[in-house]
């Protein structure tokens, strides 16, 4: 039903500036103009990662709900988990000018937002209100954290964000791979990421220790979100740091600064990070390499280019325990997760897998 409605209104949406269209969607969901209720999930899709029970492995990636405004509305569209953010310690407007471009001919998106954020105050206030309402039973929620553009101590920003969100979410993502914040991707080099991870993990432990007096202290898993443009040496370095420091998981990957020669849209050379269908191959190969270098010991969320159930299945077989999407919603509507789940369940059964977990890393033999 929601896909049909979206197909009817999409021509009008395409007339809007892409960022305005996105904001209109969020406001509509926030005000209850759309009240989706997805049907129960196929039992074959249920999975457990980090001791958390996911009703299905299809999640909403960071970027759609930057300010934690519509988490539960998105669960209504059938997502098994929703990741809010990226949030920064202090409010910041992000980059100026046009910052979002639809590449309709390529089913791709380029963004150059630059971590536009309302800051931790409103973000945590919404998360806290949600927990107090009893809504957490609807699904797993993650918070994606970043640094302020002008910060001279990136690790301190991540520590601040972690301390604020850790008691309120099920997992925390340390985003070190957005191409739209100057110097951020440099944190993926071995020495910087090793130092950053050490401080973030210590901050998580301090936060958990301070909460021991509470009835249910939170010690959420920490994930690193890395980009798809890493070479094999960089992947190996990050894998070794993750294994040595005890990071709980990875998200592979973020948007890419590369531009495939097959792009046809007039926006193909716009500045920013490319996502959507053109990213699928690059991101999946990086995921495959990361799974190989970690020996499958660290759960990975596969992100980047998922536009079908076949794409989600390919991520899982390459080594992803869970899968995220976002850009595909621009071209297929917010109810697209239901289609992906249906097709994924068929593919699992076709190949004789009894669960998502059984299929993880299947391509590696």
Q: What's the pLDDT tens digit per position in 167-222?
A: 999 999 999 887 767 766 777 788 888 889 999 999 998 887 666 655 555 789 99
Which tokens in the block code for residue 67?
A: 């300010």
Q: Look at residue 19 in the predicted model and tell me its pLDDT.
A: 86
pLDDT of 144 above 90 = yes
Q: Annotated catalytic residue: which of 117, 178, 307, 321? A: 178
Q: By percentage, how much of the chain surpasses pLDDT 70?
A: 91
**pLDDT tens per residue, range 35-70:** 777 789 999 999 999 999 999 999 999 999 999 999
Q: What is the DSSP string of 96-160?
A: -S--EEEEGGGTEEEE-----B--HHHHHHHHHHHHHHTGGGG-EEEEEE---TT-S-HHHHHHH
Helix H or strand E segment including 251: strand 249-252
Q: Where are the domains of the chain?
A: 2-364
Average pLDDT over residues 325-348: 94
2-364: CATH topology? TIM Barrel (3.20.20)
pLDDT band of 18, cuts 50, 70, 90 = confident
327 is catalytic: no
Residues linked to residue 250 through DSSP beta bridges, in sequence order:
224, 300
pLDDT of 1 above 50 = no
Place of tokens 């849209």: 265
Average pLDDT over residues 316-339: 94
Give, as one character, the DSSP assignment of residue 240: H
Average pLDDT over residues 98-102: 95
* pTM of the complete model: 0.93
CA angle, residues 353, 354, 360, in degrees to nearest 5 = 55
> What is the chain's mean pLDDT, rounded?
90
pLDDT band of 15, cuts 50, 70, 90 = low
Q: Look at residue 5 in the predicted model and tell me its pLDDT.
A: 46
51 phi and psi, to 5 degrees?
A: 75, 10
CA–CA distance, 17 with 342 (Å, rounded to integer): 32
CA–CA distance, 153 with 195 (Å, rounded to integer): 12
Average pLDDT over residues 18-46: 86
pLDDT of 3 above 60 = no
Regarding beta strands 100-103 and 108-111, do their DSSP bridges make them parallel or antiparallel, or are they unpaired? antiparallel
210 C-beta neighbours (distance < 10 Å), count: 13
| 208-213 LR contacts (CB < 8 Å, sep 24+) | 208/166, 211/167
3-class SS of residue 258: coil
3-class SS of residue 69: coil
């Amino acid at each position: 039903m929601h896909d049909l409605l979206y197909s009817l209104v999409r021509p009008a949406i395409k007339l809007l500036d892409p960022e305005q269209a996105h904001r209109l969607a969020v406001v509509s969901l926030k005000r209850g103009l759309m009240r989706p209720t997805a049907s129960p999930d196929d039992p074959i899709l249920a999975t457990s990662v980090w001791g958390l029970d996911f009703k299905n492995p299809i999640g909403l990636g960071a970027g759609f709900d930057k300010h934690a405004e519509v988490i539960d509305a998105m669960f209504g569209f059938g997502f098994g988990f929703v990741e809010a953010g990226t949030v920064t310690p202090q409010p910041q407007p992000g980059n100026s000018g046009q910052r979002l471009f639809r590449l309709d001919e390529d089913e791709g998106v380029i963004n150059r937002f630059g971590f536009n954020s309302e800051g931790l105050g409103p973000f945590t206030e919404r998360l806290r209100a949600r927990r107090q309402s009893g809504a957490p039973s609807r699904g797993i929620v993650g918070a994606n954290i970043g640094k302020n553009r002008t910060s001279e101590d990136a690790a301190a920003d991540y520590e601040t964000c972690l301390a604020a969100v850790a008691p309120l979410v099920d997992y925390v993502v340390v985003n070190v791979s957005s191409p739209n914040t100057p110097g951020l991707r440099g944190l993926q080099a071995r020495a910087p990421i090793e130092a950053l991870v050490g401080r973030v993990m210590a901050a998580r432990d301090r936060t958990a220790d301070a909460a021991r007096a509470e009835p249910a202290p939170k010690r959420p898993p920490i994930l690193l979100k890395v980009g798809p443009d890493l070479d094999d040496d960089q992947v190996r370095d990050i894998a070794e740091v993750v294994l040595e420091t005890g990071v709980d998981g990875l998200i592979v990957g973020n948007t890419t600064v590369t531009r495939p020669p097959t792009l046809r849209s007039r926006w193909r050379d716009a500045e920013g990070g490319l996502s959507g269908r053109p990213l699928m191959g690059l991101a999946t190969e990086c995921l495959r390499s990361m799974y190989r270098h970690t020996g499958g010991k660290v759960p990975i969320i596969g992100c980047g280019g998922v536009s079908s159930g076949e794409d989600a299945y390919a991520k899982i077989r390459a080594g992803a325990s869970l899968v995220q999407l976002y850009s595909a919603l621009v071209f297929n509507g917010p109810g697209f997760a239901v289609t992906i789940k249906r097709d994924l369940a068929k593919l699992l059964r076709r190949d004789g897998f009894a669960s998502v977990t059984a299929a993880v890393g299947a391509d590696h033999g």
